[in-house]
């Protein structure tokens, strides 16, 4: 049964890499019975091959990424009536950002809707959102009665910075996707994140009544809050930016027909943003399990005494606590070793990669200080019990090789969403020790040990308990593999979304289009040859008994 899906993604590097990019690629490959129109919000879709039933749609119009001088389209000019409409809509939106009373969310939603209607009528709003009028309206809203106390001291530079962020966040308003040949032709919009990514879906619902499905495997609002503590920004600007992302997330949660968080942790965020529980359904992300089948079915429990940590080397992973925990562990169990395997991320910019390298160098220096190279004799070469490796290198060529060497897999993070490395370790039937962050407890479900974050002694005690009890390691690993195969496979994820698509379509109003065969567009009785009305019953046969 063919359904046309408008798939909304971030575009650019996040579209081509990362957990969300890997997930939607598996989704479109697995649901070949539907047509997908891929709308990449922030830049063109990835150049890598896509299945024939997936059609990339590049952003064009005034809201697209600025082109070169020779390609830039002339700006549209707005008349007096349009400027008045913009001022009214933007004033409501700015009031919703600056105020903190119960009506602020409604004011933001009204302003966003008014700007959407104006953008559709005039062709776009980038120039208006960058204008002096927009900055003046932001200033008035911050100084109006009822505004948050923290934004009253916002200065001109804060208003200019907020206007730039608003123009970028509201760029979907100015894209030319909202007609009967683009999102207007979709049977369903599926956003791969909330906030600005879901904004085209909100507009399609407003203009065409298109059902909106929002999937969040990493809560964008939470990520913004974690990254918002920038000392280069004033308190007023941080407050306004938090309000902007919070209002967008809230409007998405209120308007979406269905939200599918990847775990209970994300679900709680969506409920806090205003989503009703009857419109939330947890769908765990599907991960490929077949590549780990050989390791998982092997009854060997890894190399004795070997702990493995695998992931992106960054401060949130708290490798410092892990190294101190290993020092405590090694004092009680001298024959142990720790492999720290870093996974490079292709989507990271140069600045972020430099930060990762600096943190790795800091951790390597700490390891050298805690564990001087040990040698078996006076003429032997010493080795450090902690090794820093990179996935794809000679020591760690593949994920399967890394997990196969582990007696215990360790996760020491202070911040996590849905840690993929934990699920991979479960596919490989490895016992795990994890910190209680994010969705860890939901993933583990009693098949591993969980300790408080930032507690090296508890981490060391849990690892030591498993290293000294091979039978317990085996039982926990087998239970972990069974749980992962039941809940976290690609097939489970595809089956869930296959049913969700048809369910949402069955509840949506029918929109007749020429030449389309929309599921549930016609009642089943219309398929009966000869009709089904009483007048169509042959004479003398009588009507069937009830």
Query: pLDDT band for position 517 (50/70/90)?
Result: low
Q: Give the pLDDT of residue 233.
A: 83
Assign domain 290-488 to a CATH class. Answer: alpha beta
- Comparing 228 with 154, the larger pLDDT belongs to 154
Q: Angle CA(262)–CA(213)–CA(348) in degrees, nearest 5? A: 55
Q: 352: Cβ–Cβ under 8 A, 6 or more apart, which residues?
A: none
Q: What is the pLDDT averaged over residues 496-506?
A: 93
Of the ranges 170-174, 504-508, 520-524, which is most confident?
A: 170-174
pLDDT of 354 strictly over 50: yes
**Fold match flag (1-59+177-286+489-546 vs 290-488):** yes
Spatial CA neighbour of 137 closest among 173, 212, 208, 85:
85
Residue environment code for 283-308, b if the CB has 16+ CB neighbours within 10 A, otherwise e: bbbbbebeebeebbeeeebbeebbbb
For 111, 121, 176, the CA distances from 204, given in Å and listed in that order, are: 17, 15, 12
pLDDT of 532 strictly over 80: no
- Comparing 392 with 220, the larger pLDDT belongs to 392
- CB count within 10 Å of CB 61 equals 18
Q: Give the pLDDT of residue 70.
A: 34
- CB count within 10 Å of CB 459 equals 28
> What one-character DSSP code corresponds to residue 511?
-
The residues that bridge with 47 in the sheet, in sequence order, are: none
End-to-end CA distance of the chain: 32
Query: pLDDT band for position 81 (50/70/90)?
Result: very high
pLDDT of 441 strictly over 90: yes
Q: What is the pLDDT averaged over residues 440-453?
A: 95
Q: 539: Cβ–Cβ under 8 A, 6 or more apart, which residues?
A: none
pLDDT of 69 strictly over 80: no
Contact 75, 123 (CB under 8 A): no
Spatial CA neighbour of 283 closest among 10, 27, 79:
27
The SS3 call for residue 120 is helix
The SS3 call for residue 386 is strand
Mean pLDDT for all residues in the chain: 85
Q: How far apart are CA 123 and CA 143, in angstroms?
A: 31
Contact 230, 238 (CB under 8 A): yes
pLDDT of 352 strictly over 90: no
Query: pLDDT band for position 365 (50/70/90)?
Result: very high
Instruction: Give me the helix-helix angle, 456-467 and 319-332, nearest 10°.
Output: 50
Assign domain 1-59+177-286+489-546 to a CATH class. Answer: alpha beta
The residues spanned by each domain of the chain are 1-59+177-286+489-546, 80-167, 290-488
Q: Give the pLDDT of residue 302.
A: 80
Q: What token pair was written down for 378?
A: 């006076």
pLDDT of 475 strictly over 80: yes
Spatial CA neighbour of 125 closest among 188, 162, 175:
175
The SS3 call for residue 489 is strand
Q: Where are the alpha helices (DSSP H) in 100-230?
A: 104-122, 126-129, 132-143, 156-169, 199-208, 220-227
For residue 472, the Cα-to-chain-centroid distance in whole angstroms is 35
- The percent of residues in the chain predicted with pLDDT above 70, rounded, is 81
Q: What is the pLDDT averaged over residues 245-252?
A: 93
């Amino acid at each position: 049964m063919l359904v046309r899906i408008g798939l909304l993604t971030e575009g650019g590097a996040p579209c081509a890499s990362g957990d969300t990019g890997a997930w939607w690629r598996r989704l479109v490959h697995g649901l070949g019975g539907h047509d997908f129109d891929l709308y990449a919000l922030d830049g063109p879709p990835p150049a890598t091959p896509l299945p024939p039933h997936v059609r990339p749609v590049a952003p064009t119009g005034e809201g697209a990424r600025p082109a070169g001088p020779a390609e830039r389209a002339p700006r549209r000019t707005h008349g007096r009536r349009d400027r008045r409409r913009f001022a009214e809509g933007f004033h409501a939106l700015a009031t919703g950002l600056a105020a903190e009373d119960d009506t602020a969310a409604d004011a933001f939603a009204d302003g966003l809707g008014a700007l959407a209607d104006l953008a559709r009528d005039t062709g776009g709003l980038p120039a208006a959102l960058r204008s002096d009028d927009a900055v003046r309206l932001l200033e008035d809203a911050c100084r109006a009665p009822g505004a948050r106390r923290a934004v009253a001291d916002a200065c001109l530079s804060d208003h200019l910075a907020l206007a730039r962020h608003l123009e970028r966040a509201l760029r979907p308003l100015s894209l030319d996707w909202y007609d009967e040949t683009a999102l207007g032709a979709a049977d369903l919009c599926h956003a791969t994140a909330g906030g600005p990514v879901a904004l085209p879906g909100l507009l399609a619902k407003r203009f065409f009544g298109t059902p909106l499905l929002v999937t969040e495997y990493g809560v964008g609002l939470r990520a913004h809050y974690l990254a918002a503590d920038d000392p280069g920004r004033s308190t007023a600007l941080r407050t306004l930016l938090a309000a902007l992302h919070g209002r967008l997330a809230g409007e998405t949660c209120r308007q979406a027909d269905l939200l599918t968080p990847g775990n209970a942790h994300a679900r709680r965020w969506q409920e806090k943003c205003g989503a009703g529980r009857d419109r939330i359904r947890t769908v765990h992300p599907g991960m490929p399990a077949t590549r780990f089948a050989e390791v998982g079915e092997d009854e060997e429990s890894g190399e004795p005494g070997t702990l493995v940590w695998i992931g992106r080397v960054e401060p949130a992973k708290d490798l410092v606590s892990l190294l101190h925990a290993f020092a405590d562990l090694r004092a009680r169990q001298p024959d142990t070793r720790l492999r720290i395997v870093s996974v490079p991320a292709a989507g990271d910019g140069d600045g972020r990669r430099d930060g990762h390298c600096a943190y790795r160098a800091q951790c390597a220096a700490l390891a050298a200080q805690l564990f001087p190279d040990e040698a078996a004799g006076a003429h032997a070469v010493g080795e450090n019990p902690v090794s820093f490796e990179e996935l794809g290198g000679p020591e760690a060529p593949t994920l399967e090789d890394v997990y196969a060497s582990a007696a215990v897999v360790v996760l020491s993070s202070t911040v996590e969403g849905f840690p993929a490395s934990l699920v991979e370790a479960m596919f490989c039937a490895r016992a795990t020790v994890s910190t209680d962050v994010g969705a860890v407890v939901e993933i583990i479900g009693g098949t591993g040990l969980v300790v408080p974050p930032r507690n090296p002694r508890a981490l060391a005690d849990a690892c030591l308990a498993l290293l000294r009890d091979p039978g317990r390691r085996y039982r926990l690993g087998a239970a972990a593999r069974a749980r992962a195969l039941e809940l976290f496979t690609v097939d489970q994820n595809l089956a869930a979304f296959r049913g969700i698509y048809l369910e949402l379509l069955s509840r949506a109003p029918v929109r007749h289009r020429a030449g389309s065969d929309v599921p549930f567009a016609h009642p089943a009785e219309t398929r009966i040859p000869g009709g089904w009305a009483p007048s169509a019953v042959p004479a003398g046969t009588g009507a069937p008994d009830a």
